[in-house]
Amino acid sequence: MKAGGVRSPTTLRNRNLGHPGDTDSAILELLYQILDKVNRIEQRLSPRQNPDDEALLSRLLPAVCGKVGSSPFTAKEILQDPVLQSLCGGLSCRQLGKLFRRNTGVKVGALTLDSSELEANSRLWFLR
């Protein structure tokens, strides 16, 4: 009991439950359950990089950066450049777009691929 006859909130909680520490252990258990759920959600949402994707992008993205810098580009524009096309390993425009989409936000070396709005039904990509 505190001075002046006022009980602390912890004492009241524990007295009401009948067992000291019940509230704390219940809250701690709930926090562990929440943390476990958050970790599982983060695992599902985090980008999973395929080793083949990483190898292709580690060759392609520096060349794209040298060609366009930080300007937006489309997958079609990449395939129209003979040098960049040769680095794409025979991918079609659609396959290249899917590769970019799978790896949006993933850091490859010093570069990260991001997307912007659609322009004429084509996704705009840029490097940062």
- Between CA 79 and CA 35 the distance in angstroms is 44
**Taking all residues of the chain, what is their mean pLDDT, rounded to a whole number?**
82
Residues 81, 67: contact at Cβ < 8 Å? yes
Which stretch of 10-19, 68-77, 97-106 has the lowest confidence by average pLDDT? 10-19
Question: What is the rounded end-to-end Cα distance, in angstroms, of the chain?
Answer: 60
Question: What is the model's pLDDT at position 108?
Answer: 87
Residues 74, 120: contact at Cβ < 8 Å? no
- Between CA 114 and CA 72 the distance in angstroms is 9
Considering the entire predicted model, what is its pTM?
0.60
C-alpha to C-alpha distances, 41 to 44, 46, 55, 78, nearest whole angstrom = 5, 9, 27, 34
Alpha helices (H) in the chain, listed in sequence order? 9-17, 22-45, 51-68, 75-80, 82-87, 93-102
